Structure 1
Amino acid sequence: MSAELRLPAESALEGRYLKDYPREAARRLEAMPAEEAAEVIAAHPLARVVPVWEQLAADVQERLLECLPEATVARLFSEMDPPLAAELLLRLEAQARTRWLARMEPAAAKLAQRLMAYPPDSAGRLMDPRVVGLRPEMTVAEALARMKGFRRTRALRELFLVDEAGRLAGRVELQDLAVALPEEILAQLSRPVTAAVLDLAPREEVVERIEQHRVPALPVVNVAGRLIGVIHQGALVAALQEEVSVDIQTMVGASKDERALSKVSFAVVKRLPWLHVNLATAFLAASVVGLFENTIAQVTALAVLMPVVAGQSGNAGGQALAVTMRGLALREISPRHLSWVVFKEVRVGLLNGLAVAATCALGVYLWSGSPGLVAVIAAAMVVSMVAAGLAGAAIPLLLTRLGQDPAQSSTIFLTAVTDVVGFLSFLGVATLFQGWLSAV
């Protein structure tokens, strides 16, 4: 490498490094002060910088916008993949968004505005609208010549064919194109399109298409069937990651719209209602304990062992919930499998409950020496773990059947069930057989 490619700010970030390792270069830039990172970006040709810029975290991009020359920022917005440019523009204040759109190349600004008009988490927001549909009657030589004018062809794995009305008509894999004779026509190389998605389809449907067909690129069509964009592999992976992360957040009562860098006020507004729901379920569990106040006062060992039953049933319910949620996410099961899945988890809970009850009984006997207390906690353990398995399987499937998001605060509802059933079974059995309990 020539000396002029090496930067005083960070010698490792030379031109070749930026070109061949954009992800690693982005991580290095993120660790640098914003002013120094801006110097690195401004010192290199845009063609080398754009792939690195697209790998930067969103908050780093926003900080760098304030440090880079306006002309550089405008060119970055113009050269970025349109979905990524639209995503970054939407994160900015309205005034800043308007200013940068005005500075961008007209064609790039038009594409970005078109994507921003789609609903969040829709296929239209994820797609690259720069897809070019080729005619089936074109020859291989004509197609290759046409490809030379494509921008960012590194993401291409296949070409899409369209009829005279622009409707999706087939696809041609690049490997077939590469070994074909120049005079062959694309119709002879055409393969059927295995999967496509409407531009207004939600992200969940995009993920479903990916999992069902394992396609390298997913064409996007409008209601008339016209090809209007394609979701490339990077966006497909991002959609899968987003789907998984949304489920993780919503299961514990956080909003799917919240991000790690969201404003405090936004996070509070989105989380607080579910925290109140959780508080209500906690009071419900506490009220169950209050019903057996006299029993606890007479046998104080019950207060020590209550968390053991509730905690164990909570873990068992969480296992059933996780397996059921994964089955729903992978489309292995649906609400019509409710009875089968619930019955399976009840049997698992029963067998696990018997095994755990035996171990727990031994420990309680060595600790208390009370056969009555051993019988109470063993019976309660089996009952609570069966109920936990039932609830862990039923809650997400019932939410799905009701047309709700199965991940939405499932753990909050599950915790309510396991706590109430755990306390009720343990203290209820203890009250019924109070005379058997030794004072411990």
Structure 2
Amino acid sequence: MSFQAADNPEDTRLQRLQEVLDSGTLQQAKRMLNALHPGEIAHLLEALPIAEREIVWGLVDEENDGEVLVHLTDEVRADLISKMDRAELLAATEGLDTDDLADLIQELPHTITREIIESLDLQHRSRLEAVLSYPEDTAGGLMNPDTLTVRPEVTLDVVMRYLRRLKSQIPPHTDNLIVVNRAGKYLGVLFLTDLVTHDPDDTVVEIMSLDLKAIPANWDDGAVANRFEQHDLVSAPVVDDEGLLLGRITVDDVVDVIREEGEHQFMGQAGLSEDEDMFAPVMISAQRRALWLGVNLVTAFLASWVIGMFEETIEKVVALAVLMPIVASMGGIAGSQTLTLTIRGIALGQLSGKNTRWLILKELAVGGLNSMIWAAVVAVVAGIWFDSTDIALLIAVAMSINLVFAALTGAILPLALDKIGIDPALAGSVLLTTVTDIVGFLAFLGLATLFLL
């Protein structure tokens, strides 16, 4: 077992560790393993077959267990948790940030969850319950309630002395202090750069920024990611409906959201979950994929049924059987381009009722232009190949129809699926392929039946 050669030092360290594991020197492997960042250990675990994964997991120091579990995909994490005893699970949750603990605790057995919550002091328990009260894919579910707040009336000198007392307790990714009033209502932020470059006698209210808008706790994680991207944020405050500060979201959480969304879009096209374990047992993987294969089989039968309707035509004009895949394939490719573009627009929140019509018209124009270009190319090739002007004109018209229809379907289908609550990334490609195959075969074979027989 070996990792792909990499150019950066982190991948090189992972490769060396893999070689040590293969050699069987576990003590050296343990030292090297625990010198890695928890995220690197998680990456290594996900890249190992189950038997080797369990061995390596046993080498991870107990104090690193929690951080490593947080970085793992859901399926791998659930598998490792199922093999840990009560004491190991309790130890793994110690010292975790509140947002990470909220992510992990939801996958633990109920009795362990209750014991962990009861072991927390009142402040930490209320913070954890605040995060758990929101869905996982919202700003409230992403946030960490551990924040540094200051009042607007204090001086910068007081703030500096406050930070010196905190020292190592300052949360990671702290680029600003959140300004709140006595009721806890969000007012603005004091950036650390402003704190260290202004007169210590200045008050917070004189220096603080009002430009950073707080994120409502009920925003979905996609909207949060867009806000961070558009404003180049490192952290952002989260508030409730009354404007009261609940916590903050940091860029590391947003990076996870973006990565998961990208994996979801990519894996969803094949009917797979973004948390799919590459080394899951054969039977489990087969069961999960069987349903998707069944759905594809049904759509394939639909296309075959359409072809069967023109069996007599194909028998008389054999050239049609040779050229049919070209019509269907070109339509599928053209439609998938539009489908991908539309799904991206939906994911980024760039499509609305005002610009949807323009997108559809634009894609129809693109489809029409491409249909004229490539229909002409295919017509010339088919005409020379089969020495038939009729077949050349026939495939040109059929391809034009399919390309235009594919562009229309690629634009409308994901919007319709999204409106009825079905994930376009998961269902869009299968439905689009079905539509383009059926339309392509109907157009090509139907026109052939009308004009060649």
Asked whether the two chains share a fold, i.e. TM above 0.5, the reply is yes
Taking a change above 3 Å as real, the CA distance of residues 116 and 53 of structure 1, as seen in their structure-2 partners, is: farther
Residues 82-120 of structure 1 show CA distances to partners (whole Å, capped at 9, x for unaligned) of: 434544555566677778889999987886676456433
Query: 1:133, 1:227 within 8 Å by CA — same for their partners in 2?
Result: no
Aligned pair 1:121/2:113, yes or no?
A: no
Which amino acid letter does the alignment assign opposite residue 226 of structure 1? L
Alpha-carbon distance in 1 for matches of 2:204, 2:14: 39
Which amino acid letter does the alignment assign opposite residue 121 of structure 1? D
The normalised TM-score by structure 1 is 0.80
Q: Where in structure 2 are the equivalents of 1:378-417 lying within 5 Å? A: 378-417=396-435
Q: Which residue of 1 aligns with 2:342?
A: 324
Q: Where in structure 2 are the equivalents of 1:35-434 lying within 5 Å? A: 36-40=28-32, 52-57=37-42, 60=45, 63=54, 66-68=58-60, 70=62, 73=65, 77-88=93-104, 90=106, 115=131, 118-148=134-164, 149=166, 151-255=169-273, 258=276, 260=278, 271-434=289-452
Cα deviation for residue 414 of structure 1 reads: 0.6
Alpha-carbon distance in 1 for matches of 2:380, 2:320: 16
Cα deviation for residue 135 of structure 1 reads: 1.0
Residues 155-180 of structure 1 show CA distances to partners (whole Å, capped at 9, x for unaligned) of: 11111111111121111111111101
Query: 1:124, 1:199 within 8 Å by CA — same for their partners in 2?
Result: yes
* Helix, strand or coil at the partner of 2:425: coil
Which amino acid letter does the alignment assign opposite residue 386 of structure 2? S
- Mean CA deviation greater in 390-399 or 146-155: 146-155
Which amino acid letter does the alignment assign opposite residue 219 of structure 1? P
| Percentage of matched positions with identical amino acids | 33
Residues 163-208 of structure 1 show CA distances to partners (whole Å, capped at 9, x for unaligned) of: 1111211111111111011111111111115333233433223223
Query: 2:93, 2:101 within 8 Å by CA — same for their partners in 1?
Result: yes
Alpha-carbon distance in 2 for matches of 1:67, 1:227: 41
Structure 2 gap segments, 5+ residues each: 1-8, 47-52, 67-90
Q: Which residue of 2 aligns with 1:6?
A: none
Which amino acid letter does the alignment assign opposite residue 345 of structure 2? G
Query: 1:255, 1:271 within 8 Å by CA — same for their partners in 2?
Result: no
Cα deviation for residue 328 of structure 1 reads: 2.4
Q: Which residue of 2 aligns with 1:4?
A: none
Alpha-carbon distance in 2 for matches of 1:404, 1:284: 22
Alpha-carbon distance in 2 for matches of 1:28, 1:330: 39
Which amino acid letter does the alignment assign opposite residue 60 of structure 1? L
Alpha-carbon distance in 2 for matches of 1:98, 1:31: 41
* Helix, strand or coil at the partner of 2:169: coil
Taking a change above 3 Å as real, the CA distance of residues 72 and 420 of structure 1, as seen in their structure-2 partners, is: closer
Alpha-carbon distance in 1 for matches of 2:280, 2:242: 38
Alpha-carbon distance in 1 for matches of 2:184, 2:18: 43
Query: 1:310, 1:422 within 8 Å by CA — same for their partners in 2?
Result: yes
Query: 1:250, 1:256 within 8 Å by CA — same for their partners in 2?
Result: yes
Which amino acid letter does the alignment assign opposite residue 418 of structure 2? T
Query: 1:258, 1:266 within 8 Å by CA — same for their partners in 2?
Result: no
Alpha-carbon distance in 2 for matches of 1:94, 1:30: 36
Query: 1:350, 1:385 within 8 Å by CA — same for their partners in 2?
Result: yes
Alpha-carbon distance in 1 for matches of 2:10, 2:102: 21
The normalised TM-score by structure 2 is 0.78
Cα deviation for residue 68 of structure 1 reads: 4.1
Residues 256-290 of structure 1 show CA distances to partners (whole Å, capped at 9, x for unaligned) of: 66454667676566554443332222211111101
Cα deviation for residue 240 of structure 1 reads: 1.7
Alpha-carbon distance in 2 for matches of 1:357, 1:390: 18
Query: 1:77, 1:85 within 8 Å by CA — same for their partners in 2?
Result: yes
Taking a change above 3 Å as real, the CA distance of residues 127 and 99 of structure 1, as seen in their structure-2 partners, is: same
Which amino acid letter does the alignment assign opposite residue 140 of structure 2? G
Alpha-carbon distance in 2 for matches of 1:24, 1:86: 33
Cα deviation for residue 251 of structure 1 reads: 3.9
Alpha-carbon distance in 2 for matches of 1:219, 1:90: 24
Query: 2:414, 2:424 within 8 Å by CA — same for their partners in 1?
Result: yes
* Helix, strand or coil at the partner of 1:408: helix
Alpha-carbon distance in 2 for matches of 1:357, 1:379: 7
Alpha-carbon distance in 1 for matches of 2:366, 2:236: 40
- Mean CA deviation greater in 201-210 or 260-269: 260-269
* Helix, strand or coil at the partner of 1:144: helix
Structure 1 gap segments, 5+ residues each: 1-20, 436-440
Which amino acid letter does the alignment assign opposite residue 58 of structure 2? E
Alpha-carbon distance in 2 for matches of 1:84, 1:327: 30
Taking a change above 3 Å as real, the CA distance of residues 290 and 368 of structure 1, as seen in their structure-2 partners, is: same
Across the aligned residues of Structure 1 and Structure 2, the Cα RMSD in angstroms comes to: 3.5
Alpha-carbon distance in 1 for matches of 2:253, 2:63: 27
Taking a change above 3 Å as real, the CA distance of residues 267 and 298 of structure 1, as seen in their structure-2 partners, is: same
